[in-house]
Amino acid sequence: MNDKDLQQLLDETAAKLGVVGAQLSIYDGRTQRDFATGYRNRELELPVTTGTLFQIGSTTKVFNAALIMSLVDAGKLDLDTPVAEYIIDFQLDDAQAKQTMSLRHLLSMSAGLDNGPYYDYGRGDDALGRYVGMMGGVPLIFAPGSAYGYSNASTNVSGHAAARVMGRTWEHLLTERIWEPLGLKHSALFAEDLLLHAVAMGYKKKESGEGLERTPNWCLPRSIAPAGGLTCCSTGDLVRLGRMFLDRGKSASGVQVLSQAAVEVVQQPQVKLPTRQYADEWCIGPCRKKWGGHVLYGHGGTNLSGSSMLLWCPEKNVAIATLVNVAAQGYPLADAIFDQVLPRLFGIDKPKAPTPKSVTPIKTDFAPYVGRFEAHGMRYDFAVKNDKLMLHCAPEGLFPEVNCELIPLGDERFLPTDLAVSGNRNWDVAFWGRDGQGRATNFLQGVFPLRRTG
């Protein structure tokens, strides 16, 4: 695929999915190629360029992991020290968990923390600390180190630990220790910094379902900045982050940002996922998956006005990233681009996403899964109707109200018949654990964990 082919692929995919503006960047082991399409501001007909900044959402967690590991390199943090030793006033409703929860647990999504609320504590430097102080009132989903459960709150706690130890804000540390050494020129956090760049406005479907409109709110609050509340950048800068892991911790210009040992730690699998569609394992920040016999690392993310995906493959020495300003189409666009680029350019066969028509149901006893499961902003009820396991998602925050069937895939995994269950991400879901009555104790909504409450 030459530059013309790649530009055409991006143009056509964005148009097909109704994306207003998008970017694609590819590093093939020798050169980096950046592409852009559409508008960053449709109303003013301002085009997206390769330097335009988009919201990246949770892909920020890889930046946060790099920041933490830079402090591990410096001897300021240790992955296995209880985080309560770094955050002296850290509170949890479980005293045992407070004594054992470490940065390793937090960064590998095995801490057992609820995904957490997205409370806004303002734009002051105390916003992150106030958020972490609130976590004492949020019940744990499971004991630290005993399972997998993606949690924005976990990342916020780890970021706050770095800030407390260094006596600086998380944003200052990220800029000083990661962005500047990497030479990132198209990245920003605060609104006043965005004024120095071309920025992609966000768009979403109108309530009527016909056409798109500007997102009424720009982004998530500063209180969840480490988890992805603020970060904006270009795909070019995302790929430069991926290249650091490919180049043993060095920036594109040769600056040693992380030690080679730190890079190796970041890419070590820590916990397996009971689901399989998004990833196989989680590492210290990124997820890990195997496609066509090749191991890839990365992360995706969605904020109110944008969505991103970053992947890198050490074996092939390649990295790729996508960005869009229609958040709900971020994952579909990345999938469509990767379906073409990975096999044709890099020889990596990306598995086809399963669909309700492509999978064969596995005979399953549904009794262990009947009941209610909850986490902050999520409530799911499961019932058996006409020999089918049915899901009802109450519209409490993260996801819209949904009623659909769960097709059993075996190993306690299921495929929802409605993509809205996963916010259009095409995730599978799973159950795990057993209580004294033989009922599943937990439910994994793609990556988000819930606990049985009824």
- At 208-245, the pLDDT tens digits run 888 999 999 999 999 999 999 999 999 999 999 999 99
The Cα 371–Cα 81 span in angstroms is 37
pLDDT tops 90 at residue 394: no
Predicted pLDDT at 322: 98
Pick from 319, 309, 335: nearest CA to 54: 309
- pLDDT tens readout for residues 237-289: 999 999 999 999 999 999 999 999 999 999 999 999 999 999 999 999 999 99
- pLDDT tens readout for residues 275-320: 999 999 999 999 999 999 999 999 999 999 999 999 999 999 999 9
**Among positive and negative, which fits the CA dihedral 412, 271, 93, 97?**
positive
pLDDT tops 70 at residue 406: yes
If one counts every other C-beta atom within 10 angstroms of the C-beta of residue 364, the result is 18
CATH architecture of 367-452: Beta Barrel (2.40)
Q: 367-452: same fold as 9-353?
A: no
In the chain, where the domains are located: 9-353, 367-452
Q: Tokens representing 68?
A: 């933490």
pLDDT tops 90 at residue 347: yes
pLDDT tops 90 at residue 367: yes
Predicted pLDDT at 397: 62
pLDDT tops 80 at residue 400: no
The Cα 411–Cα 432 span in angstroms is 9
pLDDT tops 90 at residue 100: yes
Report the mean per-residue pLDDT for the chain: 96
Tell me if 11 sits within 8 A of 3, measured CB to CB: no
Tell me if 286 sits within 8 A of 65, measured CB to CB: yes
pLDDT tops 70 at residue 90: yes
**Pairing status of strand 294-302 against strand 46-47:** unpaired
DSSP bridge partners of 307: 302, 324
pLDDT tops 90 at residue 82: yes
Predicted pLDDT at 242: 98
pLDDT tops 90 at residue 62: yes
Q: Extract the runs of DSSP E, i.e. beta strands, from 206-353.
A: 212-214, 232-233, 271-272, 281-282, 287-291, 294-302, 307-313, 318-324
Q: 170-179, 394-403, 404-413: which has the minimum mean pLDDT? A: 394-403
Tell me if 373 sits within 8 A of 406, measured CB to CB: no
Helix (H, G, I), strand (E, B) or coil at 6: helix
Predicted pLDDT at 398: 62
Predicted pLDDT at 436: 95
Instruction: Kindly state the average pLDDT of the residues 152-172.
Output: 98
pLDDT tops 90 at residue 395: no
The Cα 61–Cα 403 span in angstroms is 31
- Grade residue 38 by pLDDT with cuts at 50, 70 and 90: very high
Q: 18-22, 127-131, 216-220: which has the minimum mean pLDDT? A: 216-220
CATH of domain 9-353: 3.40.710.10
Predicted pLDDT at 422: 80
